[in-house]
Structure 1
Amino acid sequence: MKIMSNEQLVAAYRDAEKHGKDRDWIHMLKKEIRSRGLKPFRKA
């Protein structure tokens, strides 16, 4: 995985969720977001 800032990571996650193409990529991004202690997840 590329080195990303927190903002880039969140943007990549939201973009991947919006398009819903690659579930493995989404899962990896989500795991990294949680490891950094960020909370960008939308409650549905």
Structure 2
Amino acid sequence: MKIMSNEMLVAAYRDAKSKGQDADWIRMLQSEVQKRGLNLPKG
């Protein structure tokens, strides 16, 4: 899933987490963030 830029990926993760969206979607985004070696926002 290299469609999103790193910034877009982290923003999508943060948005999904804050809105309490589907847990599978959040897990998928989180695993992609970790694969790319990015830091997730705390919270």
Query: In the comparison of the two structures, how many residue pairs are matched?
Result: 43
Q: Given the two structures, how large is their TM-score scaled by the length of structure 1?
A: 0.86
Moved over 6 A (4+): none
RMSD across aligned C-alpha pairs, in angstroms? Answer: 1.5
Equivalent AA in structure 2 for residue 25 of structure 1: W
Q: Mind listing any 5+ residue stretches in structure 2 that lack a counterpart? A: none
SS of the residue 2:13 aligns to:
helix
Q: Mind listing any 5+ residue stretches in structure 1 that lack a counterpart? A: none
Higher relative contact order (CA 8 A, sep 6+): 2
